[in-house]
Every structure is written in structure tokens, then in C-alpha cells.
Structure 1
Amino acid sequence: MRSNPDSHPAKRPNTLLPPQEGLQQQATEKRPRSRIETLADLIFGLSLSVGSVAAIASSPTTPAEIGSHILAFIFTFLILITAWLIYTSFMSVLPVETRTIVFLNVALLLLVTLIPYLLNSVEFINPIASAADASAIKDLASILFALDFTAILVIMAVFAHVLSLEEKKLVAPELAKLFRDGRNRMAVLAVLTVISIAPVFGQVLIFGVPARLFMWYVPLISYWVGRAVRPESRSYRVS
């Protein structure tokens, strides 16, 4: 009796193992979004809305105030949208099931919700407040914002640090280096923002604006210039 070559074990296709293309696709797929990421998108969106509502609610009394209110809203928008872009880049690969990561996520979202309130307290002062009270409110609000901004940068640096640990194998080795660079960069920026709390930076004026505010622009400039010059260093993706 002749044996059928197709029935030989060596000739049978192995249907138990997935094709190589399937393995590669599974390796490149991102994990499903967690509920806290969905909540984060909502909170970032609401914070942007609060900033615009505050600008609408505060009617300008002079033409110059229109420009200052617009600039204040643009700054709030850039802070929030930049933080959201960095956050989503990290969360697309960072596991959020651990207790520490969940806690840091909650803390970050709380800090994000405070941004519009603190910046509005710097820009929009109650007209019935005395000059001394208005100055004190602005100074305190700016210090609290600097602390808030610093804490956000520190948390982002922690996220980047977790992703940069090669022994955890959360990302490819070449991406781990990008996350290490991001961690170091955000740590330096956090130091800069916390230094801005020093009273001298609230007293020194540049074009009539406290120097402290110009120091807050540095993280934004760092992100957007870096994204334009070296996109992979901010998107954390290797093409």
C-alpha cells in the first residue's frame, strides 16, 4: 500500500502555531485603553473648557485687557494640550494596573484640574479687591501654579523613568533611551519651574511681566521645538 505524502507528519501544515505575520502584528498592537485614560481625556477636555468659560465670564474693561485675556487663554491651552500629548504618549505603553501608577494618575489629573483655576487667579482679579489684596492674590496664585506645574513635570518624569527601565521590557531598547532622555529633560524643567517660586522672579519685570511667567514658557518651548526638530524625541516613536 502506497503511503500518502500529504499524510506524513512532516508534510502537514502546523495549524496550532500562528503565522509569523500574526505574531508581529500582535507585538506592535497597543494595549486596550484603560478606564482611567478615558477619564483623563474627559478631565483634560473639561479643564480646557473651564479656561475658556473663565475668559468669557471676565469682561475686559480696557482694550489692553482683551489682548491679555487672549494670551492667558492661549497659555492655559498650550499647557494643557502639551501635558495631554505627553500623557497619552506614555499611557499608550505604560501599564496602569499597579497601585503606584494608578495613584500617580489620580494625582496628575487633580493637578491638571487646578491649572485653569490658578492661572485665572493670576490673570483675572476681582475688581472690588484692593490693590494690596490683588497683588497678594496674584503672587500666591503664581506660586501655587509653579508648584502645580512642577508636580506635573515630576509625575511625567516618573512615568518616563518606569518606561526607561530596560529590565522591565515595557518598550524596545531604542525607545527606552528616548524615555530616559525624556525623564532627564522633564526633571531639569521641574527644577526650573520650582526655582521660579523664588520671590525675586515675581518682583523682576520683563516688559511689565514678572520674570516668573517667562520661566513657565520654557517647558512649552522645549516640547514644541523638540517636536519640530526631532519628532521621535517627543512622540517617543522610532520610525
Structure 2
Amino acid sequence: MQREAAEKRPRARIETLADLIFGLSLSVGSVAAIASSPTTPAEIGSHILAFMFTFLLLITAWLIYTGFMSVLPVETRTIVFLNVALLLLVTLIPYLLNSVEFISPSVPAADASAIKDVASLLFALDFTGILVIMAVFAHVLSLEEKKLVAPELARLFRNGRNRMVVLAALTAVSIAPLFGQVLILGVPARLFLWYVPLISYWVGRAVSPESRTYKISRAE
């Protein structure tokens, strides 16, 4: 009954706004890729990979967010504040990633390197913030005494909360300057740490869908 009631809950206006912001963020990333003309064949592949990462990150965040919001009441002051903070962080994603990847050739090499370092650091903070907020949402839903979801779903949300806390800690570690200086295959180690949350979500969704969709399939 709790689940049915949650599914029938009218969409809050902030959820509609969130869909718009996620969509616009995806569009901004696409426009930035189009506006930045590659100067070498290698840059074409680099720009495509950068856009794919932005796309996957935003889509993954949106899927998790909509799953939470479908059952999470957004009327409370704290939840509204966290929603606003999350959407602000989401809007910064394409800007920060574009600052890492799409820098004008006219910018001096030293300045370009400094811009990339700062943008990379800020993105790590941004990504960490998103995961922390998602963990808070999952925590609220996992509290059985609030009875927001059925007990078996509360367990899934607790697991999701714990997983996101670990992933947030991992992205927070990537803030350390060392991970921006150490290169793996010519790429800062920091970037490889950013891939882990995406891999965790999509592999988990393929292997155990209910652990990522937070929906339990029932045999008819």
C-alpha cells in the first residue's frame, strides 16, 4: 500500500524543475562540444569521450534522483534545501568538465594547465557533493520508523546509502593534489576514480536491478 501511494503521489514542482535542469545540463555539454572545434584528429576522440562521460554522469544522477523523488516527500524544508543544492551542483557539471577538456587554444599553456587543475579540483568537490546529497536522500528513505517505504525497500535504500557514502569518500579522496599529478596512460589518476561511481551503478543495475532501481520485482 505504501508503494502504491508513493507511485500515485503528484509530482512536485521541484521535480519538474529538476527534469528541466538535468536536460539543460545535457544540452550545455553538447553545445560546448560542438562549439569547440578540434585542432587535431586526436582531439575528436578526446572531445567525444569527454561528452560521453558528462552524458553518462548526468543520466546516472538523474535516474538515481528520480528513483528517490518518486517516493520521497519534498515538502520538508531540509529536503527542499537539499534539492536546490543538488540542482546547483548538477548545473555546474558541464561547466567544470568543459573547463577541463575544452580550453581555447589561444590560452597560454601555463594558464591552460592551471585552469584544468582548478576545474578538476572543483569538479571532484562537486561530484562528492552530489553523492553526499544522494546518500542523505537514501538515508531518509531507509528510516523504517518514518514508514516512507515498505520494510524490504528500506533495506535496499540502506544499502544504497552505504554504497553512496563509500563512493562519496572515494571521490573526496580524488581531491588530493597527488591524484591530479600522477598519470595513468597519460590521464590523471583522478579521472579513473571518477569512473568508479558510474561503473558501480551500471554494473549493479545489470547484475542486481533492484539494488539500483529500488523496486522489487514480484512474481505474478
Separation of aligned partners in 2, 1:39 and 1:64:
37
Unaligned runs of 5+ in 1: 1-22
The equivalent of 2:105 in structure 1 is: 127
Shift of 1:127: 1.1
How big is the shift at 1:30? 2.8
**Is there any run of 5+ residues in structure 2 with no aligned partner, and where?**
none
> Which of the numbers 59, 64, 75 marks the counterpart of 1:81?
59
CA offsets per residue over residues 178-234 of structure 1, 9 Å max, x none? Answer: 000000000000000010011111111111100000100000000000000000000
Q: 2:198 aligns with which of 220, 228, 238?
A: 220
Secondary structure, counterpart of 1:179 in structure 2: helix
Quote the RMSD (CA, aligned, Å): 1.3
Which aligned pairs between 1:69-108 and structure 2 lie closer than 5 A? 69-108=47-86
Identity %: 87
Counterpart of 2:170 in structure 1 is 192
SS at match of 1:96: coil
Q: Does 1:52 align with 2:40?
A: no
Once the two structures are TM-superposed, the CA of residue 129 in structure 1 deviates from its matched residue by 1.3
The equivalent residue for 2:210 is 232
Higher-Rg structure is: 1
Give the deviation of 1:26 after TM superposition.
Answer: 5.5
> Quick check: 1:161–1:179 contact (8 Å CA) kept in 2?
yes
Aligned counterparts of 1:57 and 1:214: Cα–Cα separation in 2: 26
- Runs (4 or more) in structure 1 with deviation over 3 Å come to 23-29
C-alpha distance in 2, partners of 1:24/1:106? 26
**Shift in Å, 1:27:** 4.2
| Structure with bigger RCO (C-alpha 8 Å, 6+ apart) | 2
Cα distance in 1 for residues equivalent to 2:149 and 2:71: 7
Change (3 A) 1:205 1:24: closer
Q: Any idea what SS the aligned residue of 1:191 has?
A: helix
Partners in 2 of 1:230 and 1:214 — Cα distance?
24
Partner of 1:18: none
Is 1:153 matched up with 2:136? no
| Amino acid in the other structure paired with 2:79 | I
Question: Number of aligned pairs?
Answer: 217
Letter paired with 1:82: T
Q: 1:40 aligns with which of 2, 6, 18?
A: 18
Partner of 1:65, secondary structure, is helix
Partner-residue secondary structure (3-state), 1:59: coil
Work out the CA distance in 2 between the residues paired with 1:44 and 1:77: 10
Alignment correspondent of 1:15: none
Aligned counterparts of 1:126 and 1:151: Cα–Cα separation in 2: 28
